[in-house]
Amino acid sequence: MTTNIQITLSEERKEKPQPEQLEFGRIFTDHMFVMDYSPQKGWHDARIEPFEPITLSPASMVFHYGQTVFEGLKAYRTSDDKVLLFRPEKNMERLNLSNERLCIPEIDGEFVIEALKKLVSIDKEWIPTTEGTSLYIRPFIIPTEYYLGVAPSKFYKLMIILSPVGSYYKEGIHPVKIFVENQYVRAVDGGTGKAKTGGNYASSLKAQEEAAKKGYSQVLWLDGIEKKYVEEVGSMNIFFKINGEVVTPEINGSILEGVTRNSIIQMLKYWNIPVKEKRISMEEVYDAYKEGVLEEAFGTGTAAVISPIGEFYYKEEKMIINKGQTGDVSKKLYDTLTGIQKGTEEDVFGWVTEVK
């Protein structure tokens, strides 16, 4: 197991983007972290290098059967120039859960957090500070063995790249419109739905593209068997506020256990706002809408943070929520969570880690 990190700094520094031009995930910083795995050496050769293309054989397994996993987390820079990370240990826990499902060797989460902190501190000047911006951190693992048989690779690369980002959705913090998907499905219990693996996202593209043509930002997935129970949105977990109670689909083996989802549940409990994780059908949500008690809906995710939902398209009907406006609970959650992440709100939960 690797313990030290070789550092090679880039001779050239790229120009940094204007914060108002930032989109999600299009610009990358000057450096990246790389570490290799072989059966003989385990994870080894940890290094920080200039960000640049990598060379792989066309026979590398990454190009063939999708044995990949990834994570997403964010770094923020405070007004007194501290750099903060939000719950990185949860991402490492989930990375190992994904590794286990995809037959990828376990990583040492503490070591990867150290590597990630080192990388972020080297590229610290890239962390944007204006409202709604942050530095998105993308750790990922790819299989690199040259082999066309279907089997777990014997060799891997773990890499971390950094991207200064603005909002994930073009709507920014304004409510998004979501299409309730009734044809395609994302995952079933026993599949890979709970892992953060590329294939889950590849299989979502067709539905997403069709929804986009109809003017919807993302799709809401229903369960893969009966197409009845709510699961998650393309890049977020989902919450509804119905008659004063916040509900979110329970962890069931096919939905992703989001770090933001987990944080939101804890925050609601702390505020004594009723919150329940349960199996919830889209019909129940629709009935609540018809009775006028579907008060708010919002998605949660690292990339999306808290994204209020202003409309669902379901059964050929537009369900307009809270007159298409951001609800009070969604707003309070967004303000408090981003405040904790940026160090302007007290971190009562002990979620924030400083990068020194």
List interacting residues with ligand COI (CB under 6 A). 72, 201, 235, 301-303
Nearer to ligand COI, 155 or 201 (CB): 201
b/e map 68-84, b = 16+ CB within 10 Å:
bbbbbbbbbbbeeeebb
Name the minimum Å distance from CB 218 to ligand COI. Answer: 11
Nearer to ligand COI, 145 or 194 (CB): 194
Nearer to ligand COI, 238 or 242 (CB): 238
Name the minimum Å distance from CB 278 to ligand COI. Answer: 23
241: tokens are 């506020």
Name the minimum Å distance from CB 183 to ligand COI. Answer: 22
Name the minimum Å distance from CB 185 to ligand COI. Answer: 18
The candidate with the shortest Cα–Cα distance to 76, out of 11, 118, 133, 26, is 133
Name the burial class of residue 194, with classes exposed (0-12), middle (13-18) and buried (19+) by CB atoms within 10 angstroms of its CB. Answer: buried
Name the minimum Å distance from CB 291 to ligand COI. Answer: 32
Nearer to ligand COI, 181 or 295 (CB): 181
CA angle 226, 230, 236 (to 5 degrees): 135
Give 281's DSSP letter. B
Name the minimum Å distance from CB 40 to ligand COI. Answer: 32
Nearest to ligand COI by Cβ — which residue?
72
Q: How far apart are CA 229 and CA 227, in angstroms?
A: 6
**Under 8 Å CB-to-CB from 38, ≥6 apart: which residues?**
44, 154, 155
DSSP labels for 45-100? EEEEEE-------TTBGGGTS---EE--EEEEE-TTS-EEEE-HHHHHHHHHHHHH
Nearer to ligand COI, 301 or 308 (CB): 301
Tell me the residue type at 192. T
Nearer to ligand COI, 219 or 294 (CB): 219
Nearer to ligand COI, 24 or 147 (CB): 24
Maximum CA extent, the chain:
63
Strands 42-50 and 6-7: parallel
The candidate with the shortest Cα–Cα distance to 153, out of 141, 136, 168, is 141
The candidate with the shortest Cα–Cα distance to 128, out of 51, 81, 76, is 76
Name the minimum Å distance from CB 72 to ligand COI. Answer: 2
Q: How far apart are CA 212 and CA 137, in angstroms?
A: 27
Nearer to ligand COI, 2 or 200 (CB): 200
Q: How far apart are CA 1 and CA 49, in angstroms?
A: 20
Nearer to ligand COI, 168 or 313 (CB): 168
Name the minimum Å distance from CB 88 to ligand COI. Answer: 13
- Residues paired with 193 in a beta bridge: none
Name the minimum Å distance from CB 308 to ligand COI. Answer: 16
